[in-house]
A and B are shown apart, each in its own frame.
Chain A
Amino acid sequence: MTATAQAGPILRIEGLNAHIAGQQVVEDVSFTVPATGITALLGRNGVGKTSTIKAIIGLIDRSGLVELDGVRVEKEPTYKIIRSGVGYVPEDREVFSKLTVAENLRLAERDAAPRRQLVEELFPDLLARSGQMAGTLSGGQQQMVSLARALLNTNKILLVDEPTKGLAPKIVAEVAETLAEAAKTVPILLVEQNLQVVRQLAAGAVVLSGGKVVHTGNALEFLDDDGLTQRLLGVSTEAVSHEASPHAEARHAAASQEKGAAL
């Protein structure tokens, strides 16, 4: 289904520049996303993570090279890039609030045989609420809709922007589990502020500052370098690395067993 066996990166960005309202928000950004696992895109607020994601799929004007699975797509319009196998989970969920949950999902179906069953198993809650206006859902439920929209189709990569933003800890864990499951079959580029989640999920990390890439490498090594995280993200990771992590990983393992059959 996906390019798991392939050696090259699934996504290659080179010299990406993007502007919003005459201001450069992405500056000469280059990185690659490997064909398996989760790669984290990190940085403080406002450094251009969301803009980078949007520039990749052409939601904002950009220049530079974007190569998806060996094919250059930067000249294509957004809908074609998406159709060539990109699942996009935007920041702030962006569900269509005046459409029902069922309509939100139907709108997202691109494949001839969308994986409705998978989505129903992952998010039983949504099935029960399929006739409800998406705008009346809780933040967590909206995030489920947003994730479901991406997971309905077979993708070469998922671009997931701050999926845990503003959610209760319990929901954060659920979202993280869902992503861990999804990552078994599709590579993910994940923007995430919650470093605990990053530690739990991500293999690689790309760190932005002021619209530029300032660090790339292994995610755990980066998070373990307290000085570096402090400097680049402005937060200390001590608490996360020594207390929460083992716990999270245990839960991760349990969750994998539980839901493994579903995928």
Chain B
Amino acid sequence: MTTETDATDTQETPDKTPDPAGSPRRRAVNDGGRPPLHLTRGRMVGAAAGIAGIVLLILLPLLNLSLPGVLPGPTYTPGSLQLLAMCMLMAAAALTYHLLLGVAGLLSFGHALYFGAGVYGLGIILQNLDIPLLPAMGLTLLVVIVLAHVVGSISLRVSGIPFAMVTLAFAQAGSVVVGRNPEGATGGDEGLTLRTDNLPDFLVGVVNTRNLYWLALAVLVAVFIIVTWVQSSRAGHVAAAVRENELRVRVLGLQPYLVKLLIFVVSAVLVSIIGMVFLLLQSGAVPRAVSADLTITLLVMVVLGGVGSRWGAVIGGVFYTILDQRLTALANSDAIDALPDVLRVPLSEPLFILGTLFILVVLFLPGGLTGTAQRLAQRRSRRGADRVQKSREILEEAA
């Protein structure tokens, strides 16, 4: 896939003094200073590849392709479409997390609160009010917007690690509500089954999985475009500048707090919409949708893919979802069952493998999959190394 749409493009800082002997760090900061011609051509190639990819994805439910080991069946079967749709929703959710961490440098441990608010909010509204889907979604959005403003404005009073802890605490409160099952609204541990009375027919039932697949694809594309747009907007630039040097931005008379709040709210709103589609796809809500585990999953996806890169978030989301699904299948397989305990126990726990993989990536592959791929593919140029450096800087700045 193309790499020209990376976060690095929007983060160049003006450089007055040419510095032939400059350190790698300096170069990394000035990554955007490539010749504009190359950049434009790269962008065009990237856009063309992107459009070709999207067309292929649109056609997928009509094709009979098999990817043994990755998909459970040919691409037109509901099982495969369901998994692919899940991959795309998770990729989209990871993109909204990228907006927080990669763009604004906010390490949130409470992102699941908004995803869960979308899932449960829409579920509860459909359950209890006799209104059609779109107004119900609008109502849910309203709730999420208010919620995100309240939580965001309080949490953003602290930054770095305390911010992580505080967002976690708020999300935990949400998780507790869902678990408590107030007035039977959330279904407690059992979760909530989607009431389909007021849904349009084309979104209901296994036969219509491909419609949900297309919906998920549309969501992913839309989220990608919105995230790109936010990142290249004025707010995105200020957020990136804040991340790098909050003091300097303050001195310039800008309001880091408001910009961060804006990004926080946008990211929350987007992920809640993804949550709503998730509800439709899964035909129900489960407590995991609002758990800290989900936030951590998103974080893992972003880091696996490569912090600071939009494509990294997408790839991380897809990769994680498929790996998780495959590992679960593996855990229940006979081959694993026959192993001695020392091997069987760890290998039959997908999260053990994913957690270990994650640790290894953080330790040995800074820049994640995309950073590493770039480094391997482009040994001659410095872009891969720059990607890695950029990821590290973003993480440093989030502290």
Chain A interface (Cβ < 8 Å from any Cβ of B): 15, 17, 19, 21-24, 27-28, 61, 63
Contacts and interface: CB of A to CB of B under 8 A. Distances in A.
Interface string B23-52: 101100100000000000000000000000
Nearest to A23: B245
Given A15-B21, A17-B22, A23-B29, 17 more contacts: A17-B23, A19-B25, A19-B26, A21-B245, A21-B397, A22-B25, A22-B29, A22-B244, A22-B245, A22-B397, A23-B244, A24-B23, A24-B26, A27-B19, A28-B21, A61-B25, A63-B23
Nearest to A17: B23
Nearest to B390: A22
A133 to B, nearest CB: 26
A19 B24 CA distance: 11
Contacts of A23: 29, 244-245
A59 B194 CA distance: 57
B393 interface: yes
B145 to A, nearest CB: 33
A19 B13 CA distance: 14
A17 B24 CA distance: 11
Interface of B: 13, 19, 21-23, 25-26, 29, 244-245, 393, 397
Name the 3 nearest CB pairs between A and B, nearest first.
Answer: A21-B245, A22-B29, A22-B244
Contacts of A61: 25
Contacts of A27: 19
A24 B29 CA distance: 10
Contacts of B244: 21-23
Nearest to B30: A22
Contacts of B25: 19, 22, 61
Contacts of A21: 244-245, 397
A23 B245 CA distance: 9
A216 to B, nearest CB: 20
A17 B23 CA distance: 8
Contacts of B26: 17, 19, 24
A17 B21 CA distance: 10
A245 B23 CA distance: 43
A15 B25 CA distance: 15
Nearest to A211: B17
Nearest to A15: B21
Nearest to A20: B245
B386 to A, nearest CB: 13
Interface-central residue, A15, A24, A61, by most chain B CB under 10 Å: A24
B23 A19 contact: yes
Nearest to B11: A22
A45 to B, nearest CB: 14
A260 to B, nearest CB: 46
A28 B22 CA distance: 9
B323 to A, nearest CB: 33
A22 to B, nearest CB: 5
A22 B13 contact: yes
24 contacts: A15-B21, A17-B22, A17-B23, A17-B26, A19-B23, A19-B25, A19-B26, A21-B244, A21-B245, A21-B397, A22-B25, A22-B29, A22-B244, A22-B245, A22-B393, A22-B397, A23-B29, A23-B244, A23-B245, A24-B23, A24-B26, A27-B19, A61-B25, A63-B23
Nearest to B389: A22
Nearest to A24: B26
B22 to A, nearest CB: 8
A211 B194 CA distance: 63
Contacts of B22: 17
A23 B13 CA distance: 9
Contacts of B23: 17, 19, 24, 63
